[in-house]
Chains A and B, each alone.
Chain A
C-alpha cells in the first residue's frame, strides 16, 4: 500500500521543492521505492533540483492526457535506483490537471509497487495545490519561522482538515507534520526570528524537522543534487533526521541551538 505524502506550504519560496527532493531521496536511500511528482504545472522546478531536467521527455500532463504511459514518463534517478521522478509540464497550465487523471496516476503508481509517493505542491491554494493535497495520507507543511509563512501554513492546515479525500470521506484525518526551513538559531536568539517553540505553539502541531539556513541549499540546487545527498552539510543531517522521524524513529532535534562547540566539532561530532 503506497503512502501519499504531500509537501505543501501555501506560501511560495519556503523550500517545498527542496524538501520534496530531499525527503524522496532520503526515503529511497533507505531502500523504499519512492516516486516524487511535481504538481507545479507551468513552473516546473523539481527536475532541476533533482538534476534530471535534460531527461524529461514526457511529463505528468502527458500521462494524464494519455499521450504516453506512466512508465514512459517516469524518470529513474541515476544515483538511487528505487527513486523515480515525474516532472511537471512547463508549457501547460494548471487546468491541464484533472481530479480523475491525478487519481489514476496515483493508483497506477501504487499498483506498480511504489511505497511512497511524494507530491510536490505548488504555492497558493488554487487547483494545483488542491489536487496535490487531495489524495494525501500525510502532509509535510513547510514553514519558515516568520509570521506570513506561519499564517499561510495555518490556512493550508485548515484546507488539509476539510478539503481532502480523507476529510470528505471521514476515514481518518490527514496526518500533519511541520517542517521548519531556513532556521537560524543565531537570529532566534537575537529575537529577529520566531523560535521552533513559537511556531509549534501557534500551529499546534509537532515538528518533524528543523532545517537550518545554509548556503549549501543554493549550491545544491545549482548543481542539481538534492541537498540531502551533500553529506557534509548540516542541512543534509537535518533532512536525514526528518526522514527518520517520518518513518517513526525518535531522533533528538539538532541544529536548533546556536553552536557552542567549535566548527569542526559541529561538522564531525553530530
Chain B
C-alpha cells in the first residue's frame, strides 16, 4: 500500500525544470521492539528469527522501537543495539518510543524519531472487558463488510465507510473499527461497530457502538430519530424521541453505566 502526494511547487521554481521532486510516500516499515539493550541477546534472537526468512529481512529498513524498555537507554547502549541489528542484516533508519524522553538521544544519533505517539498508545496494556453484546444471529439480508476485516490488534484500521442508505432490515457491522455511514439509516435497520459510529444523515434505526465492550465508543449522528442506542451493551430505547433531541445533531456516550445524550454544536 502506498500513497503519493506531489507537492505543488511555487511559480518561480516552475520556470526551470526542477531537479528534485519532493513526494510524500508511505511504505510499510518493520518495527523491532526491544525489551533489553544487551546487544548479544538481541543479536542471538534476531539471527534465530531471521533464519526462517533470511531474504525477506536482508538489508530491510527497520524502526527500532524502544517503548518497551523500562528506562531511557544511554546513547552508547542504543548504538550497540543498532550495531547488533545491522549485524543481523537489517538497517535501523529511525527510533520509536516516547518522544519526550528520546528526543535528545535521537538527535545525538542523527536518527529521526518515528511514530512516537502511536507506539506509545499501543504499548499500553489492553484489558479486554467482558463481551457486552452477544452477536445476534445475522438476518438473511445482512450486508457483509466489503473490505477485509482487520484484527483486534490493528488499531490503525480505517473506519468502514458505507455510502448507501441503510434500509429497513439491513444490518451493517464494522468489526474492530469505526463505522461511518454517509447516508440515512432507516427505521428497522441496524448499524453496529466495535468502535465509534458516525451517521451523516438521519438515524432512524438502531445504533450500537462498542459492540464488543469498548466503553469509550460513542455514537454521532446528524439527525437523531433513533429507535435504540447502545454503547458497550448499555442501551436506551426511544419509544418517543425526546423533543429537544429529535431531528438534531446528537452524540451519545457512556459514563459508568449511564448513557448520555447531548446536542452537538450547541
Contact residues of A with B, CB < 8 Å?
151-152, 154-155, 157-159, 161-163, 201-204
* Cβ-Cβ contact count across A and B, 8 Å cutoff: 47
Q: Interface extent on B, as a size class?
A: 10 to 19
- Provide the residues of chain A in CB contact with B166, threshold 8 Å: 158
The 10 closest A-B pairs by CB, nearest first: A158-B167, A154-B168, A154-B186, A155-B168, A158-B170, A155-B169, A154-B167, A204-B165, A157-B167, A158-B169
With the chains together, A162 CA to B139 CA distance in Å?
13
A152 to B167, CA, bound (A): 10
Do B141 and A159 touch (CB < 8 A)?
A: yes
In the complex, the answer to whether A158 meets B184 with C-beta atoms within 8 Å is no
Scan residues 176-195 of chain B and give those whose CB is less than 8 A from a CB of chain A.
183-184, 186-189
Please, how many angstroms separate the alpha-carbon atoms of A202 and B201 in the complex? 10
CB-defined interface of B110-122 with A at 8 Å, one 1/0 digit per residue? Answer: 0000000000000
Encode contact with A along B199-210: 1 for CB under 8 Å, 0 otherwise: 001101000000
- B164 interface hit (Cβ, 8 Å): yes
B contacts, CB < 8 Å to A: 141, 143, 164-170, 183-184, 186-189, 201-202, 204
Beta-carbon contact of A202 and B186 below 8 Å: yes
Give the interface centre of B164, B166, B169, B188 by most chain A CB atoms within 10 Å. Answer: B169
In the complex, are the beta carbons of A162 and B183 less than 8 A apart? no
| The one of A151, A152, A162, A204 that contacts B141, using a Cβ cutoff of 8 Å | A162
Known: A154-B187, A158-B168. 20 other contacts (CB 8 A): A151-B187, A154-B167, A154-B186, A155-B167, A155-B168, A158-B141, A158-B167, A158-B169, A158-B170, A158-B186, A158-B189, A159-B141, A159-B169, A161-B164, A162-B141, A163-B141, A202-B186, A202-B202, A204-B183, A204-B184
Query: Measured between C-beta atoms, what is the minimum distance from B221 to chain A in Å?
Result: 15
Least Cβ–Cβ distance between A109 and chain B, in angstroms: 29
Give chain A residues whose Cβ lies under 8 Å from the Cβ of B141.
158-159, 162-163
Residue of B with least CB distance to A173: B164
